[in-house]
Structure 1
């Protein structure tokens, strides 16, 4: 079995209009939400073996702060994750090699679309929210009954968990 963790970056700052989008950091709310979501992963007993990061400052900072409570690797920047569509994310997952749990830290609308496309359609109402609105710092967990990452496919995963920061406070 393989586990997929889809993480949308936490709330970012728009305070400096001169910054390129890729350079925007987290704002105060995002800095507080990230470790909270990391603690939620700990409660679920989930620690990623591999973490792929969009090159944006806000995704890298989100994972760095989540990792303070969740543990796991530093993460590897994958340029293609910046504003990636589900097909791109699936290709990244399929190239993940070893490890049973892979996290993708990226952006909307890609995260919501990826959760929807991976899901086999059998989801709880709590998890279904991910399809309509995937808030900042939200995390979805899906499982695929495959032996290798190359076997992960759209429609072939079970949706297990979904939460956003406001669900936990």
Structure 2
């Protein structure tokens, strides 16, 4: 009986891995509305938001999510969400880009298209409605996934969407071609939420 060529199988698997990109979209954790005079850009996380950010950091550690690069809105609440996650990947380069603040899905898509080819995984921390609209646009609507209707209904603060894209280069990212791998809500991490 002839044995399969394992090196060939491994090469095919490696090629498949190298032609796949991972996109993690994280909406900032819950922010405070205590001070009505504070500018939206400067709103901090509230107590619940800090708790969710810690739960997210633990989830990232347990799932071994370690992006190659982080793109983060420079708003205070997104930076505070990122601060909680940094222990999981302290040496990962972070870019805080003003274009991410309340960005439309087209802007977010354009920022992803600018990523270098060597970047296999990105974490984008931003705001709604842009993140939710981008996640829905990128995910394949024809692929049956119970997470997609939940995502369409609501992308809560502290929510995380993970998508895989069958591309080798970021400019090739197209709407409707990604697989929705996971949709995590704060209450999935802590039933008390």
Q: Report the secondary structure of 2:92's partner residue.
A: coil
Structure number, greater radius of gyration: 2
Alignment of 1:109-120 (within 5 A): 109-120=129-140
1:24 has 2:40 as partner: no
Once the two structures are superposed, residues 118-162 of structure 1 have per-residue CA deviations (whole angstroms, 9 ceiling, x without a partner) of: 001224213431121000100000000111111111111111001
Equivalent in the alignment of 1:60:
79
Give the 3-state SS of the residue equivalent to 1:61 in structure 2. helix
Structure 1 stretches of 5 or more lacking a match? none
Cα distance change, pair 123–92 in 1 and its aligned pair in 2 (3 A): farther
SS in 2 for 1:103: strand
Matches within 5 A, 1:98-137: 98-121=118-141, 122-137=143-158
TM-score (norm 1): 0.93
- Determine the C-alpha separation between the residues in 1 that align with 2:91 and 2:149: 27
Give the direction of change, closer, same or farther, for the CA distance of 1:99–1:43 in structure 2 (3 Å limit).
Answer: same
Q: CA offsets, 1:74-133, max 9 Å, x none?
A: 521111111111110000001011311011111111111011000012242134311210
**How high is the TM-score relative to the length of structure 2?**
0.82
Gaps of 5+ in 2: 1-19
User: Paired residues, what number?
Assistant: 169
The CA deviation at 1:61 is 0.7
